[in-house]
Structure 1
Amino acid sequence: MGSRSISKKTNNGVSRKCASLIKEQRARIYILRRCATMLLCWYIQGDD
């Protein structure tokens, strides 16, 4: 019975770590998307 609770805690820790990594990657993608949009708008505005 004790080994089941330990493996459950380990599994929970892994899923938390995975969720944290996914959250971080989503934030990075969001920032990159915003920067690309700003650069594109700046480039288009500069053509005038």
Structure 2
Amino acid sequence: MGMAAKAIPTTRSSLKLRPWTWCSKHIREQRARLYIVWRCSVMLLCWHD
């Protein structure tokens, strides 16, 4: 539950961070994670030896 607390801006300085900046960073992390899972799946499916 610690990550949910980080997502909610609590201080005035963190309010300067645009919501879409945080959102794009989060999406980028998820895409990287999906890419790694996808690459591993492809390697496992294509591995014949």
The TM-score range, normalised by the shorter chain, is 0.5 to 0.7
What is the aligned residue count? Answer: 35
Give aligned-pair identity as a percent. Answer: 46
Structure 1: unaligned runs, 5 residues or longer: 1-9
Normalised by the length of structure 2, the TM-score is 0.60
Structure 1 residue runs of 4 or more that deviate by more than 6 Å after TM superposition: none
Give the TM-score, by structure 1 length. Answer: 0.61
> Does 1 or 2 have the higher relative contact order (CA < 8 Å, sep 6+)?
2
Select the structure of larger CA radius of gyration: 1
The structure with the largest helix share of the pair is 1
Gaps of 5+ in 2: 1-14
